[in-house]
Amino acid sequence: MDSENKYPTEGFKCWKKAKELRLQYYKNYMQAKEKGGIRWAGNAPSIDAVPYGLGDDVYHLTGEPYGATVAYNKEFARRCHEVVEAKGYARDLCAYMRNYWGSVLLNEFVFGGPFPKPDFMWVLHSCCSHAKWYQEASRIEGGIPYFVIDWSAGMYYKWDEKREDYVVDPNQEHRIQYLVDQMQEGIEWLEDITGREYDDEKLIQAAKNYFESTSLWAEICTLNQAIPAPMDEKTMYSFYVFAALHKAHREVVEFYKELRDEMRDRVARGIAAIPNEKARIMTDIQPPWGFLEIYRYMESYGVVSIGSFYTFTLMGHWEIAEDGTFRPRTTPMEKGIEIRTREDALRLLADWALGLPMAQIFYDHRFKSHIMKKIFTQWKCNGIIMHFNRGCEGLTLGVAENKQALVEAGIPVAYYEGNMGDEREFELATVKEQITAFIESLGLIK
Amino acid sequence: MATEKKEYWRWHEYNWHDPDIDWRDAEIITAGVDVGSVSSQAVILVDGKIYACANMRTGHSSPESARKVANWALEGTGMRIEDIHYVVGTGYGRVKVPFANRAITEIACHARGAVEIYGNSVRTVLDMGGQDLKVIRCDERGKVLNFLMNEKCAAGTGRGMEVMADLLGVPIGEVGPRSLQVDEEPPPVSNTCVLFAKSEALGLLREGWPTEKVLAAFCRAMTDRVYALLEELGVQRDLAITGGIAKNVGIVKRLERKLGFEALKTEKDPQLAGAWGAALFAKVLYQKERAQKRQAC
Amino acid sequence: MFDKFREWYENRHEYAKDWKEKTGGKVVGYICTYIPEEILYAANVLPVRILGGHEPESIGLAEPYLFGMYCPFCRDCLAQGLQGKYAYLDGIVIGQSCIHIRQTFFSWRQRIPHEFDHYIPMPMNVVTPRASIPFLRKELEIFKSALERWLEKEITDDDLRRGIEIVNKNRRLMKKVYNLRREPNPKLTGLEAMYMVVSSQLTDKNEHSDAIEEMFNNGLATRDLGRESSIRLMTVGSENDDVEFTKMVEETLGATIVIEDHCTGSRYFWEEVKLDEKDPLTAIAERYVTRTPCPQRDWEPERIRFRRILDLIEEFGVQGVLLIQQKFCDPHELDIPALRDLLNEKGIKNYFLEFDVTVPVGQFRIRVEAFLETFASDELFAEDIV
Amino acid sequence: MIAVGIDMGAKNVKAVVVRDGEQIGRSIFETGFDRYVSARKAFEGALQDADVGEEDVGVVVATGAGKKVVTFAEKQFTVMACNAKGIVRLFPSVRTVIDVGAEEARAIRLDETGKVIEFAINEKCAAGAGAFVEAMARAMEVEVGEFAQLSLASTKAIPINAQCVIFAESEVVSLIHAETDRADIAKAVHDAMAARVGAMSQRIKVQKDIALVGGVARNIGFVQSLKTFLKEDLLVPPDPEFVTALGAALLGMEGEESD
Ligand SMILES: Nc1ncnc2c1ncn2[C@@H]1O[C@H](COP(=O)(O)OP(=O)(O)O)[C@@H](O)[C@H]1O
Ligand SMILES: Nc1ncnc2c1ncn2[C@@H]1O[C@H](COP(=O)(O)OP(=O)(O)O)[C@@H](O)[C@H]1O
Ligand code: SF4
Ligand code: SF4
Ligand code: SF4
């Protein structure tokens, strides 16, 4: 069926670099102590720009990408689950968290060697598990100090009847202040437990990196609106992770610039992710990491996943333009805002963090449904396949309602149940059958 | 569609009594009747010594099963239920033993019975029965200190094994030994749920797995579940296994391998533990009652 | 003596409808106990807590809106609403809580008709009050203004002080009743306490307080239930208003629940608002930030709630603890291993049970019975004595 | 033009022969160890029933979990697609079809042409399919058909809490022990299963008319319970277990004609 392969494809040039960077990231963390540096652990959304004020030799380990890496290693994951369950933890808890704890309890790092304990933990809380994850990690690791910043300060957006769209809620000042106050206290705490003097200049630079890298990621995603799509979602997973690893690091900014340029080039030359693109879908929520082959399976029918609310907005920062377009968020630097003091940086950080589209799902599922529809249209999709992920209670908040809303809007939607990090809750054959039925209903199998 | 099939799940039912004992000389006769979800046992003690017992399948009605199993144990002894001074009911149908003076949970009775059967070095009792798993921590007298029961999913219990036996046409007593006849341990089946297990087993057979290997995969999955429960409570040595599945070497051996030590062994029937423990409690309770009555007089 | 509370509990909807008719006032349903009822009382609005109905057959109604792995309690609550059982509510509010029950609120807001709704982003961080109290004060102000706009009337500081006093008084009285559970022969059962506390979330607190005072006038303090020899239990968990289970434990098995840590129990009312000379909204904000936290906001290394549980065990002479957890309830699941470790370390016997919309009383009976036997079974080992 | 649809179920293989859109033969065989053999048997049985020879067959379509072993089929479709196609042929007004087989259950919303719009399938746990009833009937030692019938005599609602089949079985056993009326137990089982299947169905937008297909649709006790749960009437075709195979044959036919 060669005639179906109408688009040229080629591998990503920066693929190799991505692999190296990722390896280096974990290596840096493992080896931080050898060079007298500091290492800390935290969740992916945690505001890592703040600890960067402690110096350039500060490295960290984000829990979710680590948990996902464990999930890839099914045998290791199975051992993690066993040891966690033996301690009496429930099986339905966040799979990343269980993979992480399991790794701690086994005292085995998935990349080899014993689990490298952090000096402290620095967390941003919104789903029920974030703070507790590290509270328990601290307990089982023998009392590692941790600091949690509450992110659940309410919705950043509000519905505007006239525009029939979401606009930024002007009632934001005290929410920003809430985060700023916590970060201020956090900085004192950081100084206290590390005995280091805090450097505001480093904070300011890191904050700028954070704004830039996360807006850049959104830009990269935006380039995937092209037909054929230059990047499939499975590849996207390998790239978006950098923002989840250390979004406030200069390295990530540089890498994302390179990737953005490559995407532009691919679009210009009409390079496709898959040669036989016939239909474009978007997905939802974390994929089952141990079974990414389902993406390849879809592609065998000419179905490419262009991304998802998840890959776009977990780490990417966006805004809604006057005309309703979902687009990369304008950074404070682009707006010409000068960041001079610690207070300046913290305020902007708080404002940026509160505005993350993904964070809005904690206050109203209608926001996500609305944005999903925007993505569906702007990225020229034909259908949506949702993963009802039993491994994450946080991002599944509202999924059932999202699905209802999308179906209401006449969008073809299918969903399957699974688990991002616990293969016992995933059945490949059943899921493939569901995907096939969906592709059939899109009229792609005759 | 239903053709007459051999019932492979049927485990051995029996009754027994000690012809050397003359119960008519006895001071205290007590009994324990364990009406489980799958099996029922009766143990008759004469002055604390085992005199008779029976082990059979539980029928539809608990009271009836209790009467049946007790009468079967007494068969040929000349003793009648009325001759027994004190009866303790235990197990699933414990409150439905019509002739019992008292009901005590199988958790307490199994621990007590395990110490009687295996000796007082027992600290952990694993009871693998028809529909549930229990892990019990006890002291040297068999007094329960702590326990866990499997909740949620009943996958991988005695009933499950019976279904497997039937499906694969392997008599239940041979499931264990045959599961050990593999050169290499296969991965555990992913779904131990009785219903799905069936199609999973069929799938494996279709893939060309020999029966032994399928059995091994099942026993392994079940062992993993048992092990997880043991780990959760924390195993203290010595370990005694009671209940019907104690007779399944496919699970016992694998469990021992995983634990790195052996469970206690016995010549006696571990399935009797509950009823035996109950009969022992009956003796104490009877003595107490008698002492109180005497005081009252 | 506690019949009135039982009646209110059983006829909660009739009560609320009657109240509306009688007073012409508005009734607001609330989800989660992190709701400043003081402000609603100040506005003469009746707050009633939305709870489940324990009917497995109606749970399916919530299925299209709630993800399968959210807790049964949040499904049960939503199913009640979808059935129209709460059609009399004029509004619904939530104080930011765990995300499962948040979904109940979100779906309710969208699918069940009402005039007024409000989401209070109750801070999760209660470890840094310096940041949380001013934040919450502002959010309470926003809530108050929203109410004022809806009701078209001003809520003054005096109103707020009155609201605070109504709720505080009820708290004080319930605590007084709870003190009677400390005695060697408790003056009330766990079931009675449950009826009292849950009904206080369903009725006008003025009336509820009167009913408690009446009990005292009728000799509550000198009652004899003859439970001095029964085993004293504590239950710990999220919400629990399972009558069947409680009856099984107290009536069939003869134990007595002398104290509990549930948000349908002591955790709901234990702390008062300390008004002093403060601005009332700040005082309210302080109360909610410093009250005994639910697990999902209990972030201190030595959890605040655990310290309190240990205190209660001591004060109420608890012999054993039943840990009750709603299936899939992440916040509590996240505390249970740590709590069990702590109790074991202190030598306090405990047993864990997982609850659903209704509990399998049969399966639970053997567990609880065996658990109780571990306290009482010494007589079974008295061979040497006789 | 003759097309044959073969539905490889977990418990039964069903085959339907269609000529020019009309069903002319069918056959059902228990799924044996060798599924290929079962498929052949059902296939040949259906041809015999239709009185046509193998050489007359234009196209063979396989569906169901074991569809891959039907090596003599030219085409494969998912069960969902076949369900939808089959039911609109029988009942053109149907917009939702609920299919309950031995181990799986699914709910499908379709349009007037029989195209799938949305579907849901039961997850993992077996407590919402035919095998559940079979296990419970076994616990009561009656045939499934009799068990189904029994339940109609009861008006009681006894909740079975356990969603797990095995726990449910022990609940049933304890109900038996408690000497609960057999009819009430049967109804309790069907109610419990209807609650699961019903809840699963409600994950899609259930639109009228609603049809129930699959072997379990023969279980009148379950049908009654599901009707009560959904508060809607259900259309049940005379041979509910053949609908999927019929749909498969029709889909095969359609493809051939357009070529
Ligand atoms: N001889 C045997 N060999 C292997 N397994 C056996 C044997 N006898 C009984 N079993 C297993 O034990 C189970 C019954 O266990 P039992 O402890 O008697 O159940 P319960 O007391 O819960 O009714 C049966 O389901 C079967 O799997
Ligand atoms: N006459 C009947 N009465 C009640 N149930 C029946 C009857 N016939 C079949 N069933 C049910 O139908 C199921 C088989 O359905 P079927 O659709 O053939 O399954 P599958 O396609 O999964 O093989 C059995 O599990 C049984 O419960
Ligand atoms: S949002 Fe999901 S992945 Fe993240 S901590 Fe919460 S449950 Fe885990
Ligand atoms: S705290 Fe637990 S029980 Fe309560 S609503 Fe949340 S998840 Fe459910
Ligand atoms: S998977 Fe099977 S054993 Fe597990 S809960 Fe479901 S029916 Fe029960």
pLDDT in tens, chain A (446 residues): 445 789 999 999 999 999 999 999 999 999 999 989 999 999 999 999 999 999 999 999 999 999 999 999 989 999 999 899 889 899 999 999 999 999 999 999 999 999 999 999 999 999 999 999 999 999 999 999 999 999 999 999 999 999 999 999 998 999 999 999 999 999 999 999 999 999 999 999 999 999 999 999 999 999 999 999 999 999 999 999 999 999 999 999 999 999 999 999 999 999 999 999 999 999 999 999 999 999 999 999 999 999 999 999 999 999 999 999 999 999 999 999 999 999 999 999 999 999 999 999 999 999 999 999 999 999 999 999 999 999 999 999 999 999 999 999 999 999 999 999 988 888 888 899 899 999 989 988 76
Q: Give the list of residues 6+ apart from residue B82 with CB closer than 8 angstroms, or none.
A: none
Test the C interface: residue of A85, A94, A152 with most C CBs within 10 Å:
A152
Please tell me the number of the ligand nearest to residue B199's CA: 2
At D19, which helix (H) or strand (E)? strand D12-19
Test the D interface: residue of A441, A442, A444, A446 with most D CBs within 10 Å:
A441
Average pLDDT, integer, range D163-176: 71
* Residue D25 dihedral angles phi and psi, to the nearest 5°: -170, 160
**Entry pTM:** 0.90
Q: Give the list of residues 6+ apart from residue C385 with CB closer than 8 angstroms, or none.
A: none
DSSP string, C314-373: HHTT--EEEEEEETT-HHHHTTHHHHHHHHHHTT-EEEEEEE-SS--HHHHHHHHHHHHH
For the domain covering D1-91+241-259, report its CATH number.
3.30.420.40
For the domain covering B122-263, report its CATH number.
3.30.420.40
Say how far apart CA A171 and CA A166 lie, in whole Å.
14
* Residue A104 dihedral angles phi and psi, to the nearest 5°: -65, -45
Average pLDDT, integer, range C134-162: 97
CA distance to B233, C296, D99, D111, per residue, from D244 (Å):
49, 48, 9, 17
* Structure tokens belonging to residue D187: 């109804």
Map tokens 């049940």 to a residue: D236
**β strands within chain C, DSSP E:** 27-31, 46-49, 91-95, 116-120, 232-237, 256-261, 320-326, 349-355
Kind of pairing between the strands at A318-320 and A326-328: antiparallel
- Ligand 1 atom nearest B58 alpha carbon: 23
Q: What is the mean pLDDT of chain C?
A: 94
D152 CB neighbour count, 10 Å cutoff: 16
Nearest to A239 by CA among A53, A390, A15: A15
Say how far apart CA B136 and CA B118 lie, in whole Å.
14
Is C386 a residue whose pLDDT tops 80? no
Q: How confident is the model at residue B80 (pLDDT cuts 50, 70, 90)?
A: very high
Test the C interface: residue of A159, A393, A416 with most C CBs within 10 Å:
A393
CA–CA–CA angle A410, A306, D117 (5° rounding): 25
Q: How confident is the model at residue B291 (pLDDT cuts 50, 70, 90)?
A: confident
Is B2 a residue whose pLDDT tops 80? no
Is D176 a residue whose pLDDT tops 80? no
Map tokens 């021992």 to a residue: B256
* Structure tokens belonging to residue A173: 């000042």
Is B5 a residue whose pLDDT tops 60? no
For chain A, give percent helix, strand, coil, nearest 5.
Answer: 50, 15, 35
Burial D191-218 (b: 16+ CB within 10 A, else e): bbbbbbbbbbbbbbbbeebbbbbbbbbb
Same fold, D1-91+241-259 and D93-236: yes
Contact A121, A145 (CB under 8 A): yes
CB pairs under 8 A between B and C: 54
Predicted pLDDT of residue C60? 79
Predicted pLDDT of residue B192? 54
Reported as half-sphere exposure (CB side, CA atoms, 13 A), residue A93 has a value of 29
Predicted pLDDT of residue D173? 73
Predicted pLDDT of residue A151? 96
Q: Give the list of residues 6+ apart from residue B227 with CB closer than 8 angstroms, or none.
A: B255, B258, B259
Reported as a single tens digit per residue, the pLDDT across C196-254 is: 999 999 999 999 999 999 999 999 999 999 998 899 999 999 999 999 999 999 999 99
* Structure tokens belonging to residue B252: 């016992």
* Structure tokens belonging to residue D166: 């095995």
Is D32 a residue whose pLDDT tops 90? no
Contact A53, A203 (CB under 8 A): yes
- Tell whether ligand 5 has an atom less than 6 A from the beta carbon of residue B193: yes
Query: Hey, are the CB atoms on B105 and C381 less than 8 Å from each other?
Result: no
Reported as a single tens digit per residue, the pLDDT across B228-253 is: 888 888 899 899 999 888 889 999 99
Q: How many helices (H) and strands (E) does chain C have?
A: 16, 8
Predicted pLDDT of residue A148? 97
CA distance to A43, A244, D16, per residue, from A251 (Å):
19, 13, 63
D39 CB neighbour count, 10 Å cutoff: 28
Question: In terms of CA atoms, which chain C residue is nearest residue B289?
Answer: C386
Sheet harboring C116-120: ordered strands across? C46-49, C27-31, C91-95, C116-120
Reported as half-sphere exposure (CB side, CA atoms, 13 A), residue B249 has a value of 9
Reported as a single tens digit per residue, the pLDDT across C284-293 is: 999 999 999 9
* Structure tokens belonging to residue C181: 């559970």
Q: Pocket of ligand 3, candidates A43, A62, A64, A121: which has the most ligand atoms within 8 Å of its Cβ, to mutate?
A: A64
Rg (CA), chain A: 21
Say how far apart CA B140 and CA B118 lie, in whole Å.
11
Nearest to D64 by CA among D28, D115, D20: D28
Say how far apart CA D125 and CA B196 lie, in whole Å.
8
Test the D interface: residue of B7, B199, B209, B214 with most D CBs within 10 Å:
B199
CA of A395 to the centre of ligand 4 (A): 17
Which residues on A lie below 8 Å from D115 (Cβ)?
A: 441
Predicted pLDDT of residue B1? 35
Average pLDDT, integer, range C5-9: 97
Q: How confident is the model at residue B194 (pLDDT cuts 50, 70, 90)?
A: low
Burial of B61 (0-12, 13-18, 19+ CB in 10 A): middle
Does A363 touch chain C if contact means CB atoms closer than 8 Å?
yes
The domain segmentation of chain B, as residue ranges, is: 14-113+272-296, 122-263
Please tell me the number of the ligand nearest to residue C98's CA: 4
Say how far apart CA C54 and CA C245 lie, in whole Å.
12
Which of the pair, C251 or D138, is modelled with greater confidence? C251
Predicted pLDDT of residue A1? 44
CA of B275 to the centre of ligand 1 (A): 14
Contact D238, D214 (CB under 8 A): no
Predicted pLDDT of residue A224? 98
Contact C206, C11 (CB under 8 A): no
Residues touching ligand 2 (Cβ under 6 Å) are: D 9-12, 101-103, 130-131, 133-134, 144-145, 148, 214-216, 218-219, 241
What is the Cα C16 distance to its own chain's centre?
19
Q: How many helices (H) and strands (E) does chain B have?
A: 8, 10
Query: Hey, are the CB atoms on B232 and A88 less than 8 Å from each other?
Result: yes
CA of D165 to the centre of ligand 5 (A): 6
Which span out of B189-203, B222-236, D155-169 was modeled with the highest average pLDDT?
Answer: B222-236
Query: Hey, are the CB atoms on B62 and D177 less than 8 Å from each other?
Result: yes
Q: What is the mean pLDDT of chain B?
A: 87
Predicted pLDDT of residue D257? 58
Say how far apart CA D170 and CA D180 lie, in whole Å.
14
Map tokens 């009648």 to a residue: B80
Does D81 touch chain A if contact means CB atoms closer than 8 Å?
yes
Q: Pocket of ligand 1, candidates B92, B149, B247: which has the most ligand atoms within 8 Å of its Cβ, to mutate?
A: B247
* Structure tokens belonging to residue D188: 């309790």
Instruction: Look at A2-6, A258-262, C72-76, C101-105 and tell me which has the smallest mean pLDDT.
Output: A2-6
Interface of C with B in 352-381 (CB under 8 A): 354, 366-367, 369-371, 373-374, 377-381
Q: What is the mean pLDDT of chain D?
A: 88
Q: Give the list of residues 6+ apart from residue D88 with CB closer than 8 angstroms, or none.
A: D94, D110, D112, D113, D114
Predicted pLDDT of residue B144? 92
Nearest to A429 by CA among C80, D10, B96, B94: D10
A434 CB neighbour count, 10 Å cutoff: 23
Say how far apart CA B139 and CA B127 lie, in whole Å.
16
The domain segmentation of chain D, as residue ranges, is: 1-91+241-259, 93-236
Q: How far is B91 from chain C (nearest CA, A)?
A: 9
CATH ID of B14-113+272-296, from 3.40.50.300, 3.30.1300.10, 3.30.420.40, 3.30.390.50: 3.30.420.40
B87 CB neighbour count, 10 Å cutoff: 27
Which residues on C lie below 8 Å from A152 (Cβ)?
A: 96, 121, 123-124
Q: How far is C182 from chain A (nearest CA, A)?
A: 31
Is C303 a residue whose pLDDT tops 90? yes
C279 CB neighbour count, 10 Å cutoff: 12
Can you give the three-state secondary structure of D120-178, one letter per residue?
EECCCCHHHCHHHHHHHHHHHCCCHHHHHHHHCCCCCCCCCCCCCHHHHHHHHHHHHHC
Query: Hey, are the CB atoms on A87 and C337 less than 8 Å from each other?
Result: yes
Predicted pLDDT of residue A329? 98
Which residues on B lie below 8 Å from A87 (Cβ)?
A: 232
* Structure tokens belonging to residue B30: 């007590």
Same fold, B14-113+272-296 and B122-263: yes
Contact D251, D118 (CB under 8 A): no
- Ligand 4 atom nearest C295 alpha carbon: 1
Say how far apart CA A50 and CA A61 lie, in whole Å.
15
Q: Tell me B17's DSSP state.
A: E
As beta bridge partners, residue B87 has: B31
Please tell me the number of the ligand nearest to residue C78's CA: 4
Kind of pairing between the strands at D105-110 and D116-121: antiparallel
Is D178 a residue whose pLDDT tops 90? no
Q: Pocket of ligand 2, candidates D11, D13, D224: which has the most ligand atoms within 8 Å of its Cβ, to mutate?
A: D11
Q: Say how many Å lie between the first and final Cα of chain C, rounded.
A: 44
Predicted pLDDT of residue B92? 83
Does C69 touch chain B if contact means CB atoms closer than 8 Å?
no
- Tell whether ligand 5 has an atom less than 6 A from the beta carbon of residue B155: yes
For the domain covering D93-236, report its CATH number.
3.30.420.40
Say how far apart CA C188 and CA A123 lie, in whole Å.
44
Predicted pLDDT of residue D134? 86
Which of the pair, B199 or B1, is modelled with greater confidence? B199
Q: Give the list of residues 6+ apart from residue C271 with CB closer than 8 angstroms, or none.
A: C171, C287, C290, C291, C292
Contact B142, B131 (CB under 8 A): no
Predicted pLDDT of residue C210? 97
Q: How far is B20 from chain D (nearest CA, A)?
A: 37
Say how far apart CA B42 and CA B74 lie, in whole Å.
9
- Ligand 3 atom nearest A394 alpha carbon: 1
Q: Give the list of residues 6+ apart from residue D163 with CB closer than 8 angstroms, or none.
A: D125, D127, D192, D196
